[in-house]
Structure formats: C-alpha cells, structure tokens
Amino acid sequence: MRVGVMAAACAFAVSPLDAQDSTRTAQDSAVRVFLDCPDTFCDFDYYRTEITFVNWVRDRQFAQVHVLVTTQRTGGGQEYTLAFIGLERFARTVDTLRWTSRTTDTEDDIRRGVGQTIRLGLVRFAAKTPVARNLAISYTAPAGAAAQVRDPWNYWVFSAGLTGNFQGEKSLKFQYWSGRLSADRLTEKWKIRFSVSQSYNQGDYTYPLYDSTGAQIGEQKVRNIRRGNNANSLIVRSVGAHWSFGGRLLASSSTFLNQDLAARIAPAIEYDVVPYSQSTRRLLTFRYEIGPAVYRYGDTTIFNRLRGNTVHPVTQRVTVHQATVGICRHRAGRQQLPARLSQESSDVLRQRTVPDL
C-alpha cells in the first residue's frame, strides 16, 4: 500500500514536467519564419504576438519560410501579395496569397487582414511540424451571399499632394513649394497614368560689402527664383501575358534649365518575360522606345539658339525584381542615335543670378 502511494505521488509530480517539456519541444521545432516587407510597413511586433505557432527570426539565413509582402494600388484600395517561399526542409515549396484592403480601412483593419493572410499561408508549413497537433481550424459561415463588388470609380485612382519647406537665417532664406495631381488606372489590360506638377524655389541671400580698407560699408541682397512645371502621360495596352504596346507624352518648362517648353512623344514596345500575374513578386522587362523632342528656350543659348529639335535616344531597360532574395536589381542601357539625326539639347544656358558660394 505504501509503495502504491509513493508511485502515485511520483507520477503526479512528474506528469506536469513532462507536459512542459513536450510543449517546449514542440515550440522549438516550430517553423522559423522571416518577414520581409520591402515596399510597405509591416507591424512585426503585432504579427509576432498574434501568430504564435511559428518562431519568428530577424535574419533570412536562419529561416525555413521567407514571407515576402509586396503591394500595388488598385482602384479601390491596396492589393497585398504575400509570397511564402520555403527554405531548408521546405525548399521548392512556394505559395502565393493575396489580400486587398479598402480605402476606408484603418491601419488596424489592414494589419488584421494581412495578419490573417499570413496565418493562412503558414498553416501548410506548420502542418508538417509537431506544432500541428495543437492547431485548431474553425470556419465562420457568412450570413448571406456576398454582394458583387462594384467599383464606382472604374479602377481610377486620383491623388493630390502639396509639399512645402521653409528655412532661413540672417544671411540666407530659402523656401520651396510643390504641388502634384495624378490620375491612374491599372488593370490587367490597361495601364493609364496622367500627372501634372508645379514647383517654386526662392532663395534670398545677403552679402556684406567692403571698401578697399576692409571696412563694411553696406549689404547686397540677391533673390534667386526658379519655377518648374511638368505634365506626364502614359498609356499602355497589353496584348497578352507578355507583350505590351503604348506611348509616353511629356511636356515641361524650367527657368533653371532655360526652357520655356520641352516636349517629347515616345512610342514604346515592352516585353515581360514573367507574366503579369506574377509581377508583384518578380519582374523581368525589356522596353524599347524612341521619340522626337522639341525645345524652346527662354534666352539665347551659348550656341546662339532659341529652339532645338532632336530625336530622343533609344532606351532599353531591364528591370529584375527577385523575390527569392528580397532585393531589386535594375539594369539600364542607352543607345545614342547617329549625330546627324540628333541635335543635342544639352546646350542650354543656365542663367546665374547669384555668384558661386
């Protein structure tokens, strides 16, 4: 009888420790996850405390799953693309989930939506670890059939911005103002962008004046004003998963560049090696464009010209966005047309209104 009591007491004392050891072992074997948000803010502390069935790491080389979060604007909010890239024992396991926010969503709504998507994407990895026995799956049925989403703006996104800066001291005062309006429409078939902007720079300088003996006899005040205006439009039509055709129209003026008008039109052809459906995660693009440009100068240039015409150099661009390493690479090449077909427009005389400091 005494032996039985001792055995029961030992079992009672050891069982909780065994349970703790089992829980600790399961958590230690949980999936190691690295969260990567190259073009948007991710509340890492929130996801770490809300998603506890994985082990979060801050260095990709220690991770078993790389979660890459990229974004792009839509007609009614922001689309978040989450790529779950398996590493080590999960190598060659890749999955992609998407979640779209609404324009009325708060920051908390967005992080909850992104967090739920991260949670869903990690389940398939956690299911292959000892943590799986502690996971529970639930489902909340909708109250009724979801209404068909209709975008009253027809995928158009309008934005406006105003920037100002002012600083000064006794001998120097500076102010800068700029404004911008834009309208964008991005769909699988069309990419349309319009934008206009204006900038104003003013600098006021005060210089002491001295006589031949070195005594100050007064001050000289100089004001330098620079104005700039820009208009830009881009229309691109997709003709398949890889090919696109379109054109760009630009017009600008700048007192700093001595340009009353600089206008350019450039038809272009573009080939995407990676289909559009994967563009948020990786992109390999070749673009070829060429177009004429005209210039009207506000003052005679050092080459005694008031206007100039040129055929803009052909531009080739290669852009690589690699999700597997979480970085972006850009390669660009430029081919100049023969000199007899192009008048260089770099002979602009920039009028100096203040001496060099």
Per-residue pLDDT of the chain (357 residues; tens, 9 = 90+): 444 444 343 333 444 444 444 555 667 789 999 999 988 888 888 898 899 899 999 899 999 999 999 998 887 788 999 999 999 999 989 999 999 998 888 888 999 999 999 999 999 999 999 988 888 888 776 665 444 556 788 888 899 999 999 999 988 999 999 999 999 987 778 889 999 999 999 999 998 999 988 888 989 999 999 999 999 998 989 888 788 899 989 999 999 999 999 999 988 888 888 776 666 556 677 878 888 889 999 998 888 888 888 876 555 555 555 544 444 444 444 444 443 444 333 333 333 333 333
Q: What is the token pair recorded at 127? A: 């299911």
Q: What is the pLDDT of residue 24?
A: 57
Q: What is the pLDDT of residue 165?
A: 93
- Number of Cβ within 10 Å of residue 297's Cβ equals 20
Q: What is the pLDDT of residue 301?
A: 86
Is the backbone of residue 154 left (phi > 0), alpha (psi -120 to 50) or beta? left
Residue 214's alpha-carbon distances to 130, 146, 207, 210, in angstroms, are 85, 84, 14, 5
**Tokens 């005594």, residue located:** 215
Residue 340 DSSP symbol: G
Radius of gyration of the chain from Cα atoms?
Answer: 31
In CATH terms, the fold of domain 28-133 is Double Stranded RNA Binding Domain (3.30.160)
pTM of the model: 0.51
Q: Residue ranges of the domains in the chain?
A: 28-133, 156-341
CA atoms within 13 A on the CB side of 174: 5
